Every structure is written in C-alpha cells, then in structure tokens.
Amino acid sequence: MTVILSEISKKGKLYPGSILNLYLSLFPKVFPKEEREDFIFYNGVGGIGLLFEGKIAEKSTQNLASFTVKVANKSFCVLKYRLSDNQKGIEKLKQEVAVQTLNDSSFVILVHTGKWYNNKNWLMKDMLPRITPEGNIYVCYGSIGQYFGFGDDIKHFYEGESRGLVYTSRNKGQTDTEIISSYYGKFLDQEKLNGLVEDTGLRHFTTGIYKKINSPKLFFVRSKTVKSDIVSFQSKDSTYICTSKSLALALRDKTSIKSALKPFLKGNIIEHNL
C-alpha cells in the first residue's frame, strides 16, 4: 500500500527536505506501528520517494537512488530511499536528505510505500516514482497490482474486469514494474491523461509529470472507481493533496492551517503548468 502527499506552491518556492522532515515527524503518530506493517512497511522496511524540480547528481546504492529526468524542456529530481521503521532509520534518512535536497521547487510529491506484490528483490528501480518508456514520471496509489494479476484477492478487487489481465498476458517476459510502467505509458506518453479516467478499469490515484504539447505538466488524476479518502486543503501559500485523511488532518493541525478538507473528486483531473 501507499501514501502520497503533495504540496504545490501558490507563490515562491518549497524546500523538499522540509516537507520530508515534516512527514517523518508525523507518520509514526498518525499510523501506529502495528498498522504500518503491510501498509507503508514490509518486514520493517519501506520506501520513500520524492519528486521535485531541479537537477541532482546521479547516485545508486543499495538504499538510495537519485537521478534527473528531463520532461520536455525542464529537469526534475527523483530521489528514492529505503527506510527502516525505527528512529535510527528516520534520523539516517534526515541526514541524507539534508545533503540531497538542496534544490527549491514550486511543488513536491512525497510517496511512502511498502513492498510491491511478487517483487522478491524490491530493487530501487521498482520503487516510486517510476518512469514510463518515453520518460514521463508517475506516482500511483490504489489497487494497482491486482489489476494486472499480481498478488492475491484479484477477484475481490476486480471481479468482472479483465483488461489488466489481458495486458499482462500480452506482455509476458516483462517484470511487474515494466508492465505497469508501459501501461501508464499508453496514456501519459500519448498525452491522453483523460484515458486514465475514461479508458481503464484501474482503481487509482496518480500524480506526476508528463509532456503535453512540448511543455511539462504537473498532474493529478483520480479514477471513478478508486475507494479512498483522498483530500485536498489550502493554506495561504500552498495547496495540499493527500491520499490519507488522517495524515492530512495531522499536517493541517501541525502547521496551524485553518482550511477545511475537501474530497478530491472521483474522475477529476488537475493540471499545472511548470
């Protein structure tokens, strides 16, 4: 499972490290330890990803990956960390972030996820954010694996829906991540964002960066069938979108924001110029 927290600046710039540090201070209080396992951690290990504007040195270790992706005429930073569910792991991540997130950005997307179904090795490239075949960037939330036949309870989530299974059968030999990324590429790489609402049975909330008419766009899209309390709220300087209502409430209270939470409507699409 996955938690996605996004902040979009209305004016000025954001510091990605500050947003991550705020999240790291909140999630242990919002999600009790017994609830975090098989949700945002698997066997005590989870993955944290960040997406924001700028350039970053390429780096790849067992526990960290950083690289720059160019979409249309602009560069974006992708950072991925392997996080242990303990205070030592959190402090180690904070130190790493202080070095890596020196850029400022008009937006930050943060994603925290547990292990993906059937992925025994759980390589850094399999963690979110991910890249489509033509270089667009996406972060997804929902019943993703089951749609393609990965994992258990497929019938429970997608009874009567076979499009994902058919797509998997036509792409045998590819990994789970490659299949999902190529599927997203059908829409993002072809500038058909509305297809993620109208032309798929996938239950999802997806955000990221894609090229539209030779310009990069920050996007948010929610299918008509995803079942989750995805909410948004406003501060004086920023807009927030979060896949967890409890996390959004904690963030709002921590930052003394007075704005009410509003549901991110099913079938809705938001795009921002960058």
pLDDT digits (tens, 9 = 90+) for 166-198: 999 999 999 889 999 999 999 999 999 999 999
Beta strands across the sheet bearing 262-263: 59-60, 64-71, 74-84, 45-53, 107-113, 2-9, 238-242, 231-234, 262-263
Q: Where are the domains of the chain?
A: 2-142+205-273
Residue 156: per-residue pLDDT = 66
The percent of residues above 70 in pLDDT, for the chain, comes to 93
- The answer to whether the CB of 65 falls within 8 A of the CB of 145 is no
Distances from the Cα of 57 to the Cα of 2, 50, 62, 67, 68, angstroms: 27, 14, 16, 6, 7
* Alpha-carbon span 47 to 68, nearest angstrom: 19
pLDDT, position 101: 64
Tell me the percentage of the chain whose pLDDT exceeds 90: 56
Between 6 and 116, residue with greater pLDDT: 6
CATH number listed for the domain at residues 2-142+205-273? 3.60.20
Mean pLDDT confidence for 103-109: 91
Mean pLDDT along residues 230-256: 92
Token couple for 173? 């030999």
Burial, 61: exposed, middle or buried (Cβ in 10 Å; 0-12, 13-18, 19+)? Answer: exposed
223 C-beta neighbours (distance < 10 Å), count: 19
Task: Return the pLDDT at 117.
Answer: 43
